[in-house]
Amino acid sequence: MLPEEKATIEKKKRDFSKLNDNKNPGLKDAEKLISDINILLGLYAVDKNKDLEKLIKNMIDFGKSKQWAMEGQIIEFNRIKKGQLKVKKV
């Protein structure tokens, strides 16, 4: 994994931690979470890192617990895990 990718993952972890601490997340928080998950899914498709998988799963579970629309992220995550959706690293 490239240093830029590791830095992105760390930033998304910090952002998610802040979101977890937020007592009353709103629509902008939901949009940011979905965006962050999509970025991490792209990285996960290239490098199936167990820590990254756990982070994505926790983020999706958090979104589901808030009743935010996570269906697309769940489908994409499951397809990547099963090898049905592949991304070429350039």
Structural domain contains residue 90: no
How far apart (Å, rounded) are the C-alpha atoms in residues 12 and 47? 16
41 within domain boundaries: yes
* 87, part of any domain: no
pLDDT at 88: 65
pLDDT of residue 57: 95
Domain count of the fold of the chain: 1
With a cut of 70, list the residues of the chain below it in pLDDT: 86-90
pLDDT of residue 82: 86
Q: Is residue 33 included in any domain, yes or no?
A: yes
Question: Six-digit token pair at 54?
Answer: 């756990």
pLDDT of 83: 82
Q: Which two tokens stand for residue 57?
A: 């799963």
pLDDT, residue 18, reads 94
Range of the domain at 27: 3-82
49 lies in some domain: yes
User: Do residues 34 and 75 make contact, with C-beta atoms less than 8 angstroms apart?
Assistant: no
Instruction: Please enumerate in sequence order all residues whose Cβ is within 8 A of that of 68, keeping only pairs 6 or more positions apart, or say none.
Output: 30, 33, 34
